[in-house]
Chains A and B, each alone.
Chain A
Amino acid sequence: MSNVLAYAEARGGELRMVALEAVTAARSLADASGVGGEVHALLVGPPGIASVAPRLGAHGADVVIVVEHPALALYNPEAVTSIVADRVTTGQYRVVLFSASAQGRDLAPRVAARLGVPLASDVVAIESAAEPLVLRHPTYAGKVVATLVLAATPSLISLRPGAITLVESSRAGRVESGSTVVDPAASRVVVTEMLEGGGAKLDLGDAPVIVSGGRGLRAAENFRLVEELADAFGNAAVGATRAVTDDGWRPHSDQIGQTGRLVSPDLYIAVGISGAIQHLAGMRTSKTIVAINKDKDAPIFKIADYGIVGDVLEVLPVLTAAIREARKSH
């Protein structure tokens, strides 16, 4: 009863960074509980997915339970719900961790209702690992932070992507094979196709640095400057405001804010962004915020740690060159 389960999210046969976050959080929960307990990671995917198990072990999984099936190459909400719910019941876990990613937001509430327990969703910090769990969760578009008490066994939690700092903690990651429970080919809801957007680029949820552009860039082609700055960092993703995605300068999937992605990278650089409340709702928990805007009274400066007042078209190329230089000397 003292074991913790982490759902190791994969997509298209590849492990996602958020899987390592869930395992990292599970490790620290198990270690902080005082009762010991193992960390199990549940990995679901097409045949061959087991090959990523060592990465889960490296972040603290004692056991990796692998469920492979050809009909699990694309996300299969109904089959995965059954697989996870069955594993939670047979494994008698104390806590089950998901990511509050697009997949986790779909999966976790299904599993919770199947098991008849609540779900603490989009959790940014675990304040008490003993029972009942005490958790932090942003509410009211990020303007009010709630401290939640979750008094259920098992306790199901989804973690905001980026809120957990990865920690390596080498464990066996012993692979065990799990059961598909249901015929994955018999699901009523079927993902017929996955459209890859970003190619090999870093996802917004995974990137330690985000360079985000707003209408202040003036034209779609000037986003090149944002991409070049992201390239200079080497570990950055590109984000955008709704003004920009509405105008079709960037795809909707790049939008950050209340109605887009919620991110909390180590460094968020807001370029030509006014700082509307709906945008801030998606990025205000970033660790360090930099703003570049030509209007010294722009609201974004109220939450930025560092600001430069100036024309982005002039500042960006200089900043890009300086970041390249700074990273070279490292």
Chain B
Amino acid sequence: MKIAVCIKRVPDMESRFRVASSGTTVDESGLKFDIGDFDGYAVEVALQLKERSGAGEITVVSVGPDVVQETLRKALSMGADRAVQLKTEAIPFDGLAIARALAAELGGGGYDLILFGKVALDSSNGVVGAMTAELLGLPCVTAVSKLDVGAGRGSARRELEGAAELLAFPLPAVLTIDEGIARPRYPSLKGIMAAKKKPLEVRPAQLGEQRLSIRSLALPPERSAGRIVGEGPSAVPELVRLLQTEAKVL
């Protein structure tokens, strides 16, 4: 089983974000970065598939500046076999540009599965996986919450609003991974040592034209901390009055 996992370097979403002086990026000073949440699930899925099949190779790929090597090393220390950095000055916002770079790298690579996170929480786009599949002409299932892979075929479940779909697909295929499917493992000390010797190749990213960009970033207006209407059941009449007359939602 030959598997590729596309991983993005993203800041810890618990952070308090500030807008950088450029106005179009967040200020990175003091932020902690790691593999995106969903990308971590995707790495774990790949590791479990490889362990179950007893053979195979896992390649992790990341588009971005040299700092993404740290993210790639983390995935190697979890157990991936090799890494590729597709080098850019900055990570573009336009998901189609990222998808083009990934498709150029992964096309013809002979992968049985190419895995993505469902969404990268910094951009919050949720587009790169399905776009890459389309560019490669591969079958694709998005937001996979359960997965079963057999000989040449797989089946998956994806959650909808108040419902779920069960799907069947042939390999090779592209999957984007939802949470709840697997808990990412922590790298072991042995894994961290081994990762240092695993191959990490660097190639220029072929992004192409970008037609979607960030004009400005802003922190949402703090919701003015509301009002405590009162304590216990006796506060209910006042709450209902405010919902009727002030918020006008009743």
A-to-B contact residues, CB < 8 Å: 11, 74-75, 77-78, 81, 100-103, 105-106, 108-110, 112-114, 116-122, 134, 137-152, 161, 188-198, 201, 203-206, 209, 252-253, 258-259, 261, 266-267, 277-278, 281, 284, 287-291, 296, 301-311, 314-315, 318-319, 322-323, 326-327, 330
Q: A190-B167, A259-B37 are in contact. List 15 more A-B contacts (CB 8 A).
A: A109-B126, A109-B130, A118-B211, A144-B26, A144-B218, A148-B93, A192-B155, A258-B121, A287-B247, A303-B223, A306-B226, A309-B235, A310-B235, A315-B233, A319-B236
Name 22 A/B residue pairs within 8 A (Cβ), A-sorted.
A102-B143, A106-B142, A109-B131, A113-B134, A119-B127, A121-B124, A138-B220, A140-B26, A143-B220, A190-B168, A196-B162, A203-B162, A252-B180, A258-B121, A277-B14, A284-B223, A288-B249, A296-B228, A301-B228, A306-B226, A306-B243, A315-B233
Q: How many A-B residue pairs have CB under 8 A?
A: 286
B167 to chain A, nearest CB (A): 5
Residues of B within 8 A of A101 (CB): 160-161
In the bound complex, what is the Cα–Cα distance between A119 and B26 (angstroms)?
A: 22
In the bound complex, what is the Cα–Cα distance between A259 and B179 (angstroms)?
A: 7
Interface size on B, residues (CB 8 A): 84
8 Å CB interface, B130-186 against A: 130-135, 139-143, 145, 155, 158-170, 173, 178-180
In the bound complex, what is the Cα–Cα distance between A122 and B123 (angstroms)?
A: 10
A255 to chain B, nearest CB (A): 9
A12 to chain B, nearest CB (A): 8
Residues of B within 8 A of A120 (CB): 212
Interface contact A197-B163, CB-CB below 8 Å: yes
B54 sits at the interface (CB 8 A)? no
B219 sits at the interface (CB 8 A)? yes
Residues of B within 8 A of A307 (CB): 226-229
In the bound complex, what is the Cα–Cα distance between A146 and B219 (angstroms)?
A: 9
Residues of B within 8 A of A319 (CB): 233, 236, 239-240
Chain A binding surface, main DSSP class: mixed
A47 to chain B, nearest CB (A): 21
| A113-B131, A141-B124, A301-B226 known; A267 vs B236 contact (CB < 8 Å) | no
B17 sits at the interface (CB 8 A)? yes
